[in-house]
Amino acid sequence: MHTYIHTYIHTYIHTYIHTYIHIYIHTYIHTYIHTYIHTYIHTYIHTYIHTFIIHICILHSIMHACIHTYIHTYIHTYIHTYIHTYIHTYIHIYIHTYIHTYIHTYIHTYIHTYIHTYIHTYIHTYKIHTYIYISMLHTCMLHDACMHAYISYIHTCNIHTCTYILHTYIHTYMHTYIHTCSFACMCIATCMHATIHYIHTYIHTYIHTYIHT
């Protein structure tokens, strides 16, 4: 994390921002704006207005000279200056600088640093060591006789304990409860049945005998 913050943030601030401000903005302001103001405006005002209006129009030169001077001056000065200064400067300084400095720096510094430092370190250190650790535990559990015996003991103990608990529970509680309850219910049912049978016999014998006799 410290490497990430130190490398990426520092590289970002130092390389991109500094490069952006220093090369692009400064170059843009210095080269393009200054060139535009100095070359185009100054050339346009000085050449076109001074040449066309004063020297041609005011001095009533021929129209051909007016067209030739203006068009040629416009094409030669502005277009050539624009293509040569701005486009060339834009391509050479900004695009090339952008590709070379920012993109290359981004790919080389950030991506490479990210892959090399974070991903590689993460995979190499954490994953491999964790995998080795898990493999070691796995190997230890599988191949270590003591561990295997201990696991078998736990496994056996759990099964036997579970069986013992279930057996004890079923035998002690359920069996006793069912046996006792069923036996008691059977006794009660037998008594009730004998009582009902006795009552029925008494009613049948006494009432029938009484009514009949």
| pLDDT tens digit sequence for 4-60 | 666 666 666 666 666 666 666 666 666 666 667 666 666 666 666 666 655 555 555
- For residue 50, being part of any structural domain is answered with yes
Q: What is the pLDDT of residues 157-177, one digit of tens each?
A: 544 544 555 555 555 555 555
Give 65 or 166, the one with higher predicted confidence. 65
| Number of Cβ atoms within 10 Å of the Cβ of 52 | 19
> What is the domain range of residue 115?
2-119
pTM: 0.21
Alpha-carbon distances, residue 187 vs 18, 124, 177, 193, 197 (angstroms): 101, 77, 15, 10, 15
Give 44 or 139, the one with higher predicted confidence. 44
- For residue 132, being part of any structural domain is answered with no
- For residue 82, being part of any structural domain is answered with yes
Q: What is the pLDDT of residues 96-138, one digit of tens each?
A: 666 666 666 666 666 666 656 665 566 556 555 555 555 555 5
Mean pLDDT of the chain: 60
200 SS3 class: helix
Q: Identify the pLDDT of residue 76.
A: 65
Q: Identify the pLDDT of residue 154.
A: 47
Alpha-carbon distances, residue 55 vs 64, 67, 78 (angstroms): 13, 13, 20
How far apart, in whole angstroms, are the C-alpha atoms of residue 78 and residue 72?
10
Q: With 60 as the cut, is the pLDDT of residue 186 above it?
A: no
- For residue 163, being part of any structural domain is answered with no
- Provide the number of structural domains found in the chain: 1
Question: Per mean pLDDT, which range of 97-101, 157-161, 185-189, 194-198 is the poorest?
Answer: 157-161
Sign of torsion over alpha carbons 177, 183, 188, 193: positive
- For residue 66, being part of any structural domain is answered with yes
- For residue 155, being part of any structural domain is answered with no
- For residue 210, being part of any structural domain is answered with no
- For residue 107, being part of any structural domain is answered with yes
